[in-house]
């Protein structure tokens, strides 16, 4: 019992980064949209990858899948690169922020399922 009580603070510290990650409820799955644009910026990392695209004169943030999943499905950092033409299909933020959670992306005629 004493060991359990001593381990609880360490467990709490290890789970804090997970609590800081957003949920998917802030995206509106009833209003899917498709954006085709050139990738301005790419961030490869955890908990997921991110893109910045200019669409209709406005900067859009595209949230991708975790990089381990993208790599397994072939959407590697060598393919998802700055300057590449991309089509992203996903769900926009409910609050009107220029952001979508991508369900799939297409680069060079190849579709990559992210979810």
Rounded CA-CA distance 41/86 in Å is 12
**Is pTM, for the whole model, over 0.85?**
no
The architecture (CATH level 2) of 23-113 comes to Beta Barrel (2.40)
Region 3-18 average pLDDT = 45
pLDDT, tens digit, for every residue of 56-109?
999 999 999 999 999 999 999 999 999 999 999 999 999 999 999 999 999 999
Domain boundaries, the chain: 23-113
φ, ψ (nearest 5 deg) of residue 67: -60, -30
């Amino acid at each position: 019992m004493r060991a359990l009580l001593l381990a609880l603070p360490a467990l709490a510290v290890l789970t804090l980064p997970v609590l800081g990650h957003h949920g998917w409820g802030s995206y509106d799955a009833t209003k899917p949209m498709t954006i085709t644009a050139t990738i301005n910026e790419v961030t490869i990392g955890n908990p997921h990858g991110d893109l910045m695209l200019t669409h209709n004169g406005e900067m859009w943030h595209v949230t991708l899948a975790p990089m381990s999943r993208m790599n397994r499905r072939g959407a590697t950092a060598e393919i998802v690169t700055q300057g590449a033409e991309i089509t992203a299909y996903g769900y926009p933020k409910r609050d009107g922020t220029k952001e979508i959670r991508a369900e799939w992306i297409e680069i060079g005629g190849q579709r990559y399922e992210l979810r």
